[in-house]
């Protein structure tokens, strides 16, 4: 006898990361598919986690997040964005940005509500919307510069729209949204009374002096934006799964209502260590950028020399590269070939598009550096 998955998850399949990582292991390929650092974060942050474990900080944390950590998150928002956030009513610690996204989406969407998702997307957005009973509306970024077409975006908003999910700096294109694009999103959110989830997990991975703009800081957006950050991405501890949501009190209540029954709380010793991470000085952030910029420059030139059509990322640790110059027009075929025959694993970006726009991703491969 066997049981079938519930209808709400039956269409999801296995994530492309699991498949490509498996293929990479099987063929002993260099794995540039899944996005995580190939180094550990700061030694003092590791030491803080170990000290917390040895000090007996091993039982459940407060559901909303340890008070010291919420204070440190508020200080970080003030330090980098001059953003005011009340640690008691506007900050929630979650088990990675992935949980923050899920708790936010399930906490605010009602069945039948529409959620605008910009493509290519981080692959949990659409499943989260579907699990909440919402209806995804997809708006693709347009190559070669991955711009948002103002008319396409404007047409996606209507009186059923409850939510838009924005990701800047953007995985997988490496795009950093401009002030005017964010202003257009803000204007439409205000016009249609829509909530924005701003996934800013790559806020500290920026190149060529590019500035990251926090959507919540635009006029009229503070009261309608949930900003999501990841300790894993900013401090290179992706396996610890610590993230946070900053949102006005009414939206924070919605996030917390879901969060308390999704994970209840995140790992206690890692929350103590995250307080230490958030106190690192400016040189920590400068060094992070220098290291990633060296890797970006190395991989962009290696891929260009190999004949791919590379878009140079302004942020994140991903590169989208066009595969057509090598005679391929299908990303999955190319990524399987590259893993098996060349020994390098990449991700086929069609996985980051809806069926409606899948063809747009087929001419690229995504590499992580």
Ligand X SMILES: Cc1ncc(COP(=O)(O)O)c(C=O)c1O
Q: Which residues bind ligand X (CB under 6 A)?
A: 35, 96-98, 122, 167, 171, 199, 201, 230, 232, 238, 243
Helix (H), strand (E) at residue 311: strand 309-311
State the alpha helices, DSSP H only, in the chain: 16-26, 43-54, 67-81, 96-108, 125-131, 150-156, 179-192, 231-235, 249-262, 268-278, 282-305, 331-337
Between 35 and 87, CB nearer to ligand X? 35
Closest to ligand X by CB, 96 vs 174, is 96
The distance from CA 47 to its chain's CA centroid, rounded to whole angstroms, is 27
The CA–CA distances, whole Å, from 270 to 63, 72, 95, 100, 104 equal: 14, 14, 10, 16, 22
Q: How far is the CB of 100 from ligand X (least distance, A)?
A: 7
Cβ atoms of 242 and 7 closer than 8 Å? no
In the bound state with ligand X, the residue whose beta carbon lies nearer, of 292 and 328, is 292
Shortest Cβ distance from residue 136 to ligand X (Å)?
Answer: 16
Whether 109 and 115 have beta carbons less than 8 Å apart is answered as: yes
- CB nearer to ligand X: give 183 or 263: 263
In the complex with ligand X, which residue's Cβ is closer, 95 or 300? 95
Number of H helices, E strands in the chain: 12, 13
* Closer residue to ligand X (CB): 239 or 327: 239
Cβ 201 to ligand X shortest distance, Å: 4
Q: Give CA–CA dist 312/175, Å, rounded.
A: 9
- Token digits for 149? 């077409």
Smaller CB distance to ligand X: residue 167 or 328? 167
Residue 342 CB neighbours (<10 A) = 13
Smallest separation, CB 128 to ligand X (Å)? 11
Q: How far is the CB of 178 from ligand X (least distance, A)?
A: 18
Alpha-carbon 141 to chain mean position:
16
Least Å distance between CB 111 and ligand X?
24
Which residue from 66, 102, 104 is spatially nearest to 87, judged by alpha carbons? 66
In the complex, least distance from residue 231 CB atom to ligand X, rounded to whole angstroms = 7
């Amino acid at each position: 006898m066997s049981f079938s998955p519930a209808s709400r998850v039956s269409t999801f399949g296995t994530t492309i990361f699991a498949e490509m990582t498996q293929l990479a292991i099987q063929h002993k390929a260099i794995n540039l598919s899944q996005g995580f650092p190939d180094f550990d974060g700061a030694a003092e942050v590791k030491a803080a986690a170990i000290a917390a474990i040895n000090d007996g900080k091993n039982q459940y944390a407060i559901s909303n997040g340890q008070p010291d950590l919420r204070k440190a998150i508020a200080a970080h928002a003030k330090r980098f964005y001059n953003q005011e956030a009340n640690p008691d009513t506007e900050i929630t610690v979650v088990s990675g940005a992935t949980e923050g996204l899920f708790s936010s989406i399930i906490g605010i969407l009602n069945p039948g509500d529409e959620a605008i998702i910009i493509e290519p997307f981080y692959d949990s957005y659409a499943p989260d919307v579907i699990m909440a009973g919402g209806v995804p509306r997809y708006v693709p970024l347009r190559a070669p510069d991955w711009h948002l077409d103002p008319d396409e975006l404007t047409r996606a908003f209507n009186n059923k729209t409850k939510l838009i999910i924005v990701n800047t700096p953007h995985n997988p294109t490496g795009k950093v949204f401009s002030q005017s694009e964010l202003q257009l999103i803000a204007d439409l959110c205000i016009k249609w009374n829509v909530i924005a989830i701003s996934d800013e997990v790559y806020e500290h991975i920026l190149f060529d002096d590019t500035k990251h703009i926090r959507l919540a800081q635009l006029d009229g957006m503070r009261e309608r934006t949930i900003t999501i950050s990841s300790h894993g991405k900013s401090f290179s501890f992706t396996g610890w799964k610590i993230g946070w949501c900053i949102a006005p009190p009414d939206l924070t209540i919605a996030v917390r209502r879901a969060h308390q029954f999704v994970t209840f709380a995140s790992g206690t010793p890692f929350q103590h260590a995250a307080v230490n991470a958030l106190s690192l000085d400016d040189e920590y952030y400068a060094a992070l950028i220098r290291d990633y910029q060296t890797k970006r420059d190395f991989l962009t030139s290696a891929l260009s020399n190999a004949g791919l059509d590379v878009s140079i990322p302004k942020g994140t640790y991903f590169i989208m590269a066009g595969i057509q110059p090598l005679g391929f027009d299908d990303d999955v075929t190319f990524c399987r070939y590259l893993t098996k025959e060349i020994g390098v694993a990449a991700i086929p970006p069609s996985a980051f598009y809806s069926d409606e726009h899948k063809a747009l991703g087929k001419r690229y491969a995504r590499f992580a550096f």
